[in-house]
């Protein structure tokens, strides 16, 4: 099992968009078509993924895992100031404050950035991930705790999950 925590505001990996390629201030044309490249929607994403990969490398320096993987990600976000009282109630959580952060960014887009960041660092391909556990909760500061486990059966060999019953058996054996 490999576990690490990355501190900082999480950046979601959303959709990608195509943008024209320019040379000398003009779009590059091939025939009547403009040459384009694919760019992430969020310009801060490459730096965030590099930070995740850097922390993952410090946590694990072995060979990339090559079997089925279980990925657990706990996303922690600070509460907005509006969740707390003011005046003599400053610092006290309002009764009306939600228990969970149900606002954007969506947790799947945050996890997508994690998966891509640690591909080639902890495992060979994010297609190896066969089990996800994602939690999004409030805490003191922005952080992301990631746990990667290779799924194995009791004999130490990689487990083959073939049915709902097999999934339940594997889950029961991990408890």
CATH number at residue 169: 3.30.1330.70
Return the pLDDT at 175. Answer: 61
- Pick the more confident residue, 4 or 174: 4
Range of the structural domain that residue 112 is part of: 2-13+44-174
Identify whether the C-beta of residue 109 lies closer than 8 Å to the C-beta of residue 12. Answer: yes
On whether residue 24 sits in a domain, the answer given is no
On whether residue 26 sits in a domain, the answer given is no
On whether residue 54 sits in a domain, the answer given is yes
On whether residue 20 sits in a domain, the answer given is no
DSSP 128: G
Return the pLDDT at 170. Answer: 62
pLDDT tens across 41-70, in order?
A: 788 899 999 999 999 999 999 999 999 999
The rounded percent of the chain whose pLDDT value lies above 90 is 75
- Name the pTM for this structure: 0.76
Please state, in angstroms and rounded to a whole number, the distance separating the CA atoms of residues 73 and 126.
Answer: 14
Number of domains into which the chain is organized = 1
| Average pLDDT score, the chain | 89
The whole-number average pLDDT for the span 128-138 is 96
């Amino acid at each position: 099992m490999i576990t690490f925590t990355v501190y900082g505001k999480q950046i979601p990996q959303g959709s990608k968009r195509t943008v024209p390629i320019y040379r000398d201030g003009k779009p590059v044309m091939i025939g009547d078509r403009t040459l384009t490249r694919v760019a992430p929607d969020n310009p801060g994403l490459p730096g965030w993924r590099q930070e995740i990969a850097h922390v993952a490398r410090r946590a694990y320096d072995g060979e990339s895992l090559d079997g089925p993987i279980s990925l657990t990600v706990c996303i922690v976000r600070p509460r907005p100031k509006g969740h707390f009282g003011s005046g003599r109630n400053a610092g006290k959580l309002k009764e009306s404050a939600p228990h969970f952060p149900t606002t954007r960014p969506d947790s799947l887009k945050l996890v997508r950035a994690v998966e891509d960041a640690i591909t080639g660092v902890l495992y060979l391909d994010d297609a190896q991930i066969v089990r996800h556990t994602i939690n999004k909760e409030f805490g003191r500061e922005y952080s992301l705790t990631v746990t990667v486990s290779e799924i194995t059966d009791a004999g130490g060999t990689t487990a083959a999950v073939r049915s709902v019953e097999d999934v339940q058996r594997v889950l029961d054996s991990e408890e």
